[in-house]
Structure 1
Amino acid sequence: MNKELEKLGINLEELIEQALSKIERLFLSEQYKEAEIVAYQLLRVDGHNLKGLQLYGLILSKQRKFMKSIEVFNQAIELDEANAENHNNIALAYLNIGKFEEALQHADRAIELKVNNYNFLGNKGLILRASGQLDKSIQHFESLTKINPSANVWINLGSAYGQKKQIEDAIRSFQEAIKLEPQNYAAHVDLAYAYFFAKDWNNAWKEYEYRIPYWRSEKSSMRRFSPKYQPENAWDGIKSLKNKKIAVYCEQGVGDMIQFARFIPELKKMGANVIVDTSDELAPLFDIVSKEERFDYHCSVLSLPFLLDKKTPEHFMKSNSYIFPKGENRLEAYENFYKIGIAWAGNPAHPNDSKRSLLLKYFKQIEKLNRVKLFSFQKELGKRYHLTTNQEVDLTEDCDDMNIVDLSPYMKDFGDTVELLNKMDLIITVDTSLLHLAGAMGKKTYALIPFNPDWRWGLEGSDNDWYESVMLFRQQEPDNWAEVFDRISPRITF
């Protein structure tokens, strides 16, 4: 082919270099689909182009096509086994699909080839942490702080300590990161979470405000900031709200909006005209909802505890039972049953979904209890794809023998959900919006909490700082939900 192209006056090597340059430009501008097409075409012409294979593998990884990227990186390794970057790249791909043994093998090989590459060393620590080898991960990152005390190393060390529930050490680590980089927003947010677990409320809420500049600069499907909410007209908690119009929004999930809505009446007491900017699905829960674009100030609902100086549980609990049903939605056919509403899964895009969602079959022992009837508040019943583990799972497998009442056809919005929840005797749910809604209504609720919980649930105990009617049932060890249900079943008496 090369000779034929030469006859036409075309230089193949020059074309390949141009293609590689184009792929790099597309990759750096995050145009991954376009870059993938060009890389694929290049490799059809020159399948042994090492740089092309490396770029193609990185492009696939950026699109979470990890199995395919592993194939490509393996081809690159066959061409150049002594290339440390190839081993590092494939290690990260294996990490993302949960194949930790393979990830560690390639991470060690990358480090062997480039002994003092701190990026490779840091990645090994991440693999150790993800695989549950927390002591080794901590030891690894502690050693790195002696030879390369960067902010990222301290952040990773703090995260490992946090996962091991050594909160004081986590706080110390995040503080060290901030000393090195005072404007490292990620370190501030992680420090906020650690303070929350330590119940150091004043420092926690202060540090948590750094999430706003952090998430404005970081793309995330879980956090959304509308362009109309710019820093210059954000309410600072000091300016008078009398006769002013303030828009309250939530940049995170549905459950967060429900949880923090308890603080909105405080703005009305200050004389504000409050606009609640939320989804149509949530709108029935609030008195004032608007898509109006004109307002004097705005603030995130998650910032209200800080801005209103209502930072401690005595303020949270005062607002208990603040969402109420507005009508009747009877379930007459089940009046003689003890009605338990259940949810076994949250948003599949949530970073911790693989840990907080669980298999429906764990509810079987509860369904078998005399005069108990289970009602599903789950909206998505099919297979789901865990973004963080890159795996498809069916949480309803082996459950064809269960006779659960599916309420999803009757829940067009959260107003309907409130009416149906009001008819339940008990709610058993994972950490998702249903938990917050039931708690906000004052309904008796058993919350299923993973071993490493979200910051708002603390680290121990069955009580919580947000809802008096909610009892926490925590995993005693990672991924063991069976033991949790063994503790719940005997408590269901009526």
Structure 2
Amino acid sequence: MSQTQVQALLQQVQLDAALDLLNEWLQREPQSTLALQYQGLTRLWLGDAVAAEASFRAALALDPTLPRNQANLGISLLAQQRYAEGLPLYEARDQVDGPRFPGLTAQRRWQGEALAGRRLLLVREQGFGDQIQFIRFAAELKALSAGAVIASVSPGLGSLLASAPGVDALSEGDIPSEAYDLWCPLMSLPCLLGIAAPPAPARLPYLHAPAAQHQHWQQRIDAWAGDKPRIGVVWAGSAQSAIDTRRTLPAALMLEILHARGQAVAFSLQLGDAALTLIDQQIAAGLIPLFDLLQDFADTAAVIEQLDLVISVDTAVAHLAAALGKPVWLLLPVGADWRWGQSGEQTPWYPSMRIFRQTQYGNWRDVALSVAGELQRGLA
């Protein structure tokens, strides 16, 4: 069956083969909204948001009421930085797999009306990096006369995001039952606030590690690095996700990049199984692994506050380092996530971030060579 074959190819990140199969599928069934959805997704991953938009528009024309068609078109527009068009369509993500916020009533969902002193609950969604990125809007909500901003965040983020401007109270894990008047998904804030372009944060840093953890890690990092430059690195996301597989840099290439660091001391901020990849080579190269010492994101933030540079693929650590105002070199695949756009070395979301992009799908070596060259020049 075409769908099963396409899904297998996408899971294996064989995008050209998937696109060929989809073109054959659409020749047989030109009215298949499912084939058009997969075609648009594959085109997005191949870095062609304009072609993806055409696929998603065709799917939407065939079934204008299907939430997935609306949300996918929104993503393709956001990838082109067309926020005013894309954000309202992206709101349909809530209904793609049925209601995503059980226990929260539609009658109390904030729709952008005047807050007038009412308590607003921001409900977490998607990944750690998304929550770190979008918590910046809490300060804007306070400026709009929210009586209180309460954030419900994922376990591991609580003590860190409590430092965000505008956050009055925070719940980690369970969503509070009655401590609010209105609620809103965290990633709906740009739409409801009328964001028409990627916004820079009002202030940097907008997050801070707790003082006790900052002091603890300052002593430890100073003991390891002294007065030498300090670099933190992350090369992989979750091995369970095809998206993370696409944006994962081989550990061997990260070690090659670090050969250019000169006297700088390098720390691995990598977590999960990937932290153990080539562990003997990591240690031989002088990379100091911290995976068994980092208890939560506040620990990671406290380490990053002691560093001069973070080099990372598209993970929560990249968002965290940039939210802390640290220089970040972000390594992106072709067809990167919509928030990074499709070209350029800078992003308004994070002024301290520099982007290094693949120019050919799957070619991380050229990215590694570019980063290594810039690292060598920067530390010279």
**1:229 is aligned with what amino acid?**
L
**1:254 is aligned with what amino acid?**
F
How far apart, CA to CA, are the structure 2 residues paired with 1:93 and 1:202? 31
**1:342 is aligned with what amino acid?**
V
Match of 2:222 among 332, 355, 362: 332
Matches within 5 A, 1:84-123: 95=9, 98=12
CA contact (8 A) 1:438 1:445 kept: yes
How far apart, CA to CA, are the structure 2 residues paired with 1:230 and 1:454? 30
| Count of equivalent residues | 358
How far apart, CA to CA, are the structure 1 residues paired with 2:298 and 2:369? 33
- 1:168/1:138 CA distance change after superposition, 3 Å: farther
| Corresponding residue number in structure 1 for 2:187 | 302
Specify the SS of the correspondent of 2:107: helix
Specify the SS of the correspondent of 2:284: coil
| Corresponding residue number in structure 2 for 1:242 | 116
| Corresponding residue number in structure 1 for 2:142 | 268
Specify the SS of the correspondent of 1:408: coil
Specify the SS of the correspondent of 2:319: helix
| Corresponding residue number in structure 1 for 2:165 | none
Match of 1:364 among 235, 241, 255: 255
Specify the SS of the correspondent of 1:318: coil
How far apart, CA to CA, are the structure 2 residues paired with 1:395 and 1:187? 42
Displacement after TM superposition at 1:163 (Å) = 3.7
Match of 2:330 among 439, 447, 467: 447
Specify the SS of the correspondent of 1:159: helix
| Corresponding residue number in structure 2 for 1:465 | 348
How far apart, CA to CA, are the structure 1 residues paired with 2:7 and 2:37? 22
**2:170 is aligned with what amino acid?**
V
| Corresponding residue number in structure 2 for 1:233 | 108
CA contact (8 A) 2:9 2:17 kept: no
Match of 1:404 among 272, 284, 287: 287
CA contact (8 A) 2:9 2:18 kept: no
How far apart, CA to CA, are the structure 2 residues paired with 1:141 and 1:161? 15
How far apart, CA to CA, are the structure 2 residues paired with 1:95 and 1:206? 31
**1:378 is aligned with what amino acid?**
Q
| CA shift digits 1:220-272 (9 cap, x unpaired) | xxxxx44222333211012x322212110221000000000110111222222
- 1:230/1:370 CA distance change after superposition, 3 Å: same
Displacement after TM superposition at 1:443 (Å) = 0.5
**1:365 is aligned with what amino acid?**
E
Specify the SS of the correspondent of 2:16: coil
- Percent identical among aligned pairs is 26
- 1:417/1:162 CA distance change after superposition, 3 Å: closer
Using the size of structure 2 for normalisation, the TM-score is 0.85
- 1:242/1:91 CA distance change after superposition, 3 Å: closer
Displacement after TM superposition at 1:478 (Å) = 2.2
Match of 2:41 among 148, 159, 165: 159
**What RMSD, in angstroms, separates the aligned Cα atoms of the two structures?**
2.7
Matching of residue 169 in structure 1 with residue 51 in structure 2: yes
Displacement after TM superposition at 1:204 (Å) = 0.9
Higher relative contact order (CA 8 A, sep 6+): 2
| CA shift digits 1:12-32 (9 cap, x unpaired) | xxxxxxxxxxxxxxxxxxxxx
**2:193 is aligned with what amino acid?**
L
How far apart, CA to CA, are the structure 2 residues paired with 1:97 and 1:303? 28
CA contact (8 A) 2:124 2:154 kept: no
CA contact (8 A) 2:235 2:270 kept: yes
How far apart, CA to CA, are the structure 2 residues paired with 1:349 and 1:264? 31
CA contact (8 A) 2:321 2:328 kept: yes
CA contact (8 A) 1:341 1:375 kept: yes
Moved more, 195-204 or 399-408: 399-408
How far apart, CA to CA, are the structure 2 residues paired with 1:151 and 1:381? 37
CA contact (8 A) 2:132 2:161 kept: no
How far apart, CA to CA, are the structure 2 residues paired with 1:286 and 1:160? 34
**2:230 is aligned with what amino acid?**
K
How far apart, CA to CA, are the structure 1 residues paired with 2:40 and 2:205? 36
| Corresponding residue number in structure 1 for 2:63 | 181
**2:80 is aligned with what amino acid?**
A
Match of 2:197 among 312, 333, 337: 312
How far apart, CA to CA, are the structure 2 residues paired with 1:377 and 1:164? 29
| Corresponding residue number in structure 2 for 1:491 | 374
- 1:469/1:337 CA distance change after superposition, 3 Å: same
Matching of residue 253 in structure 1 with residue 127 in structure 2: yes
- Give unmatched runs, 5+ long, in structure 2: 163-168
Using the size of structure 1 for normalisation, the TM-score is 0.66
